[in-house]
């Protein structure tokens, strides 16, 4: 190849680099209000990713947001904390598994909004919130990145902040139903499950009806109870009346990051400014603590990990349930690593190790881990899928029933019911997840029927849960860029294009217009008018016919 070819290549690369968008250093305010340790981890990963890209970060959350000091970010970051709110909230709430299991879907919807209002009042009163409010009055902010799951009371900061920043919303809570209010979309109840319903496609007509009903109830609660109270709290926080309602001001969101991805979540139609970054919190695995690493390395038959998240603590399961679990674990050949918050566990078998806290992402990356027994929380579920670890789910509340039902239907998980938990069911589920082929019910034929029929069905649809989970893992990770890189790029995109060119016109339309309710009304009125006119014409014609016939009879 001649010199001119290399010159052309060099010139081409130079032109491309000159035309590539360069993100200047931005002042970014991050706000996270959801009372969950796992969701704080998600938020922290997003903030760290933005800091590593050279931006100045002001993070306001329920925990301190810690940054990577070895990457030179410490001089460009500041963390404000709603001090003691998280700990006090957890102490004030009854997170007993039995109590949560008694809550209905509509009660859960009410409770979530109630908690949101309560959290805002607690957070606004903290020194961390007041310091952050004072900071935005005097500091130019380029982008606000706020969790919209809760915390609409902090929309007041959008009005008083210096610099007219672009707004990026996010939610670690999958793609909740109120995202449509922000971006102008639709919940598609025929496709998407109401988060607390627990049923996923395929829906029966009754399930579709209930799914639609739950969405409508939650919409009413949000619009007529939750948002008006958030308006009051927002104005109280900034000390003056806002020029717009919180429902109107949230239309300023130009990009919405959701902790979802269509490979795992029910795919639905969304505006182009809804960016799916499911699994953003998952990182490359790091070396495990020496005792945990040795315990897993020595697991000749593999290992099982048990963790019920940060809110449902294993130590609160109840002594009778714990005895049932220990009786099952003692019969297994596998090593069992259990996130158990108490210092001691009487009757613990030799093959069980307990730790108050686990680096779950790093543990699931270990090659000896065969199964995760979980509460089916979204972030834990995503980690299991990412690392290709089959799941046994025992849900308790909120979206956990939906998460495990989705994975069971995908053939990568099995479910357990807390209330009917027995040693036998635990052993059966764990052993099936590790060893056995699954057999579904197909075309009304169950495994109780003849051996020949059972064998034929089994041969047609059997697969190993572990193998299917590995396939799902490859599908989940196969993306143009990592979830974190995509989130960072879109935050920078929002700053470069503050008018929100990716936004849908639907966000400025009323619910009646967006869902064509007005069109349906016009069509209904038109059809009724046509039917009424037709009826009148038919009656008039019939009366005319009778009149003429009567006249003929009289004339004859």
pLDDT the model gives residue 19 = 43
Is residue 258 within 8 A of residue 195, CB to CB? The reply is no
* Model confidence at 436: pLDDT above 90: no
Residue pair 429/451 in contact (Cβ under 8 Å)? The answer is no
Q: Calculate what percentage of the chain has a pLDDT beyond 90.
A: 67
- pLDDT band at residue 455 using 50, 70 and 90 as cut-offs: very low
* The pLDDT value given to residue 295: 97
Average pLDDT of span 22-35? 88
Q: What is the pLDDT of residues 488-510, one digit of tens each?
A: 999 999 999 988 899 988 888 88
Least-confidence region, from 93-97, 428-432, 532-536: 93-97
String of b and e for 421-454 (b: at least 16 CB within 10 Å)? Answer: bebeebeebbebbbeeebbeeeeeeeeeeeeeee
Look-up of token digits 């008083």: 160
pLDDT at 55: 95
The pLDDT, as a whole number, for residue 275 is 96
Mean pLDDT of 69-94: 80
Tokens of 82: 């709603």
Lowest mean pLDDT among 33-37, 296-300, 356-360: 33-37
pTM as predicted: 0.86
Give the pLDDT of residue 110.
94
The residue extents of the domains of the chain are: 25-282+483-508, 290-477, 512-537
Q: Residue 314 — very low, low, confident or very high, per pLDDT cuts 50/70/90?
A: confident
Beta-carbon count within 10 A of 410 CB: 16
25-282+483-508 is classed in which CATH architecture?
A: 3-Layer(aba) Sandwich (3.40)
pLDDT at residue 5 above 50? Answer: no
User: Whose CA is closest to 119, among 35, 52, 191?
Assistant: 35
Residue 153 has pLDDT above 50, yes or no: yes
Tokens of residue 3, six digits: 């010199």
Q: Mind listing the pLDDT tens digit for each residue in 159-192? A: 999 888 999 999 999 888 889 999 988 888 888 8
Question: What's residue 330's pLDDT?
Answer: 96
pLDDT of residue 1: 46
CATH level 2 (architecture), domain 290-477: 3-Layer(aba) Sandwich (3.40)
At residue 94 the predicted structure's pLDDT band, cuts being 50, 70 and 90, is low
Question: In this predicted structure, what is the pLDDT of residue 27?
Answer: 96
Average pLDDT, the chain: 87
pLDDT > 70 fraction of the chain, expressed in percent and rounded: 89
Coil, strand or helix at 549: helix
* Position 526 pLDDT exceeds 90: yes
């Amino acid at each position: 190849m001649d010199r001119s070819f290399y010159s052309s290549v060099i010139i081409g690369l130079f032109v491309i680099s000159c035309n590539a968008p360069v993100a200047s250093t931005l002042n970014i305010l991050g706000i996270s209000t959801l009372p969950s340790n796992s969701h704080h981890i998600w938020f922290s990963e997003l903030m760290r990713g933005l800091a590593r890209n050279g931006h100045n970060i002001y993070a306001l959350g329920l925990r301190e947001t810690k940054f990577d000091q070895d990457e030179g970010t410490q001089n460009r970051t500041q963390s404000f904390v709603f001090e003691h709110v998280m700990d006090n909230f957890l102490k004030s709430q009854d997170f007993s598994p039995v109590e949560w299991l008694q809550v209905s879907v509509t009660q859960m919807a009410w409770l979530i909004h109630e908690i949101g209002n309560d959290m805002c009042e607690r957070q606004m009163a903290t020194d961390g919130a007041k310091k952050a409010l004072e900071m935005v009055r005097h500091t130019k902010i380029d982008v606000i990145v706020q969790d919209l799951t809760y915390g609409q009371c902090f929309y007041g900061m959008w009005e008083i902040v210096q610099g007219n920043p672009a707004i990026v919303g996010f939610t670690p809570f999958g793609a909740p139903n109120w995202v449509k209010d922000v971006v102008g979309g639709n919940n598609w109840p025929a496709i998407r499950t109401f988060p607390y319903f627990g049923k996923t496609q395929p829906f029966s007509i009754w399930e579709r009806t209930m799914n639609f009903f739950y969405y409508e109830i939650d919409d009413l609660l949000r619009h007529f109870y939750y948002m008006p109270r958030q308006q009051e709290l927002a104005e109280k926080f900034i000390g003056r009346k806002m020029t717009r309602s919180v429902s109107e001001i949230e239309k300023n969101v130009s990009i919405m990051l959701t902790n979802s991805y269509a490979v795992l979540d029910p795919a639905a139609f969304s505006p182009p400014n809804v960016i799916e970054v499911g699994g953003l919190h998952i990182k490359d695995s790091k070396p495990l603590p020496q005792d945990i690493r040795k315990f897993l390395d020595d697991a000749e038959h593999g290992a099982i990990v048990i963790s019920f998240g940060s809110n449902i603590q294993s130590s609160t399961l109840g002594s009778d349930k714990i005895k049932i679990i220990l009786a099952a674990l003692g019969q297994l050949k596998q090593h069992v690593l259990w996130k158990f918050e108490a210092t001691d566990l009487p009757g613990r078998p030799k093959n069980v190790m307990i730790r108050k806290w686990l680096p779950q992402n790093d543990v699931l990356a270990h090659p000896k881990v065969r199964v995760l027994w979980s509460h089916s929380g979204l972030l834990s579920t995503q980690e299991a899928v990412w690392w290709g670890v089959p799941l046994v789910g025992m849900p308790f509340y909120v979206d956990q029933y939906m998460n495990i039902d989705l994975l069971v239907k995908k053939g990568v998980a099995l479910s357990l019911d807390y209330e009917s938990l027995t040693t036998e069911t635990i052993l059966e589920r764990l052993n099936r997840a590790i060893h056995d082929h699954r057999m579904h019910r197909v075309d009304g034929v169950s495994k109780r029927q003849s051996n020949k029929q059972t064998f034929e069905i089994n041969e047609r649809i059997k697969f190993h849960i572990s193998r299917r989970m590995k396939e799902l893992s490859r599908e989940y990770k196969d993306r143009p860029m990592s979830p974190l890189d995509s989130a960072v790029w879109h935050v920078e995109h929002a700053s470069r294009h503050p008018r929100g060119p990716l936004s849908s016109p639907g966000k400025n339309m009323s619910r009646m217009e967006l869902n064509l309710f007005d069109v349906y009304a016009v069509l209904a009125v038109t059809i009724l008018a046509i039917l009424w006119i037709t009826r009148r014409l038919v009656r008039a014609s019939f009366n005319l016919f009778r009149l003429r016939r009567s006249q003929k009879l009289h004339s004859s």
